[in-house]
Chains A and B, each alone.
Chain A
Amino acid sequence: MSIIEVILKIFNVGLTHYLILGTILFCIGILGLIISRNVIRVLMSIEILLCAVNINFVAFANYSDINNIQGQVFAIFIMAVAAAEAALGLAILLSLYRNKPTVDTEEMKELKG
């Protein structure tokens, strides 16, 4: 097996590639969740995390459960929850902003014990 064949084989898309894509997305989501100073960006990162999970679900549905595609049903559920979470996140953000007119996470330290 020549080296080119090996490379081609590696790059031939399968379930693994989708899982790796999901993992990359998940890691970016974690990164954004932790390092952002803007609360809105934190909310966006959470959405990206949920998208990463959705990719995993749909990929598994495609590769191992093509007849029932239950993974896709779960993806739908997750989207609904994500929508609810986004709405609540906005509401929390607004009430927070009303108490303290800032979106800087570095200034939200009232939980300090």
Chain B
Amino acid sequence: MDIIYNLFFYAIAFVLVIAALGVVFLPRIVYSAVSMILAFISVAGIFVLLNADFVAIAQIIIYAVGITIVMIFAIMLTGRVSEKKLWIAFAPRTLFAFGISGAFFVAVLFAVTNGFKLLLRESSIFSTTLPSIEIIETLQTEGTTGIIGKALFTKYVLPFEILSLLLLAAILGAVVMAKKDRDNLINPTTKLIEED
């Protein structure tokens, strides 16, 4: 019954949903990008509310900074194209998309609330008890970084290492794909040789 906690949740959730809708529906792609930053920061706020300080910081560093920069790079590199007309596709699939997402929402809502009954209870079917105050307090004073680090280097060390390989492969793949074709690279030099 923590009023302030509830107020914070609803405020952040409201901002998050509005920002996410903005990503989809704002007419200019740059506005969408800014809206996306807002959404990512709101998600970080949600993570803070969920006692996940490390994840919240990582969220801001990776999403709100890294991925946003990637997106803005994409916008800049393709910027010549007129943006106004590229808003929403008026195709049959748009109608379907509204239907599908609405129906999906209803279905999941029905599921997570156990047929709308669980909204009346304190918690969902997954956990009937709130986290104990002591643990929350230790988490809030010590942070989750230690626990996550311990987990990453003991239990999840193999996925962690594989993840590093994945990132390496992604970097290489991105370089290979984004680089210009070899012909385009060679042609200037051959031109140079021809000029000589």
Contacts and interface: CB of A to CB of B under 8 A. Distances in A.
A51 B83 contact: no
Is chain B's interface secondary structure helix, strand, loop, or mixed overall? helix
Interface of A: 6, 9-21, 23-32, 34-41, 43-45, 47-48, 51, 54-55, 58-64, 66-70, 72-73, 75-77, 79-95, 97-98, 101-106
Contact of B6 (A13, A27, A83, A84): A13
Contacts of A10: 119-120
B127 A48 contact: no
A94 B78 CA distance: 8
A66 B131 contact: yes
Contacts of B130: 14, 63
Contacts of A9: 120-122
Given A64-B126, A79-B59, 8 more contacts: A17-B9, A34-B93, A40-B29, A48-B39, A62-B51, A68-B147, A91-B174, A101-B80
Contacts of A13: 5-6, 9-10
Given A14-B122, A62-B51, A90-B174, A76 B131 contact: no
